[in-house]
Amino acid sequence: MLSLLEHMYHELGLVKEFNMNKVTLKRWLLCVQENYRNNPFHNFRHCFCVTQMMYGVIHKSGLLDRLSREDIAILITSCVCHDLDHPGYNNTYQINAKTELAIRYNDISPLENHHCAVAFQILSNPETNIFSNVDQVTFKRIRSGMITLILATDMARHGEILANFKDKIDTFDFTKDEHLTSVSDEIPSCRASTGSDLLQYKNNEMSNVTASSQVRYVYDMNTLIMR
């Protein structure tokens, strides 16, 4: 999975566009992997599956010809980082249990805010900063875009984001920033709608492992709710 993620950054032209150090890219991916916990569902395998889906959407939808490389970098990197250090239980649990994350982020998307924070903690280290060779203005835009997209994966916002996207479908224009924002929000948000939707795109071995893990995750969550 690490080598395939690395290939995506090369094949999409991101390594060349942002003058990424190849060794730094490897270190960053290893660090990201280390910061995913061994959860039944929200683990590094899930990170890979979501990023793989985005990679497919980019190619199948012709986004390489419609979006800037900066936008592509934001999309792919947000997918890689979107569940970093996930503790295994959702926002409802965090808020009801008054966990440290819920208290720290005032019950506002505590998990997604945490994923963002961990992502940029990793990028703040020169040894794992894949964007170390971009200027401050560009990095600020990348950071802002990643924060927007990762926060958009909070399923509490899914209905709002989907409705906003549907309103723009008939008149969608890639030259309008607000339309690009809506589609960028919706793609990563959709990935969490139903885990089963993604299974058809994976090989049988990975599908079986992911499906089994997801069933265990749902069982654990229901057990907690019933207590």
Q: Could you tell me which residues are annotated as the binding site?
A: 46, 82-83
List 7, 10, 42, 59, catalytic entry = 42
Alpha-carbon separation of residue 7 from 12, 13, 14, 29, 154 (angstroms) = 8, 10, 10, 11, 28
3 Cβ neighbours under 8 A, 6+ residues apart: none
Helices (H), the chain: 2-11, 14-17, 22-34, 44-60, 63-66, 69-81, 91-96, 100-104, 110-123, 136-151, 158-168, 177-190, 195-199, 204-226
Q: How far is CA 171 from CA 65, 164, 167, 184, in A?
A: 19, 12, 8, 16
Phi, psi (rounded to 5 degrees) for 191 = -60, -25
Residue 122 tokens read as 């990793």
| Active-site residue, 42 included | yes
Q: Which residues are annotated as a binding site for Zn(2+)?
A: 46, 82-83
41 Cα distance to chain centroid: 14
Residue type, 77: T
Say if CB 132 and CB 101 are below 8 A apart: no
Catalytic residues: 42
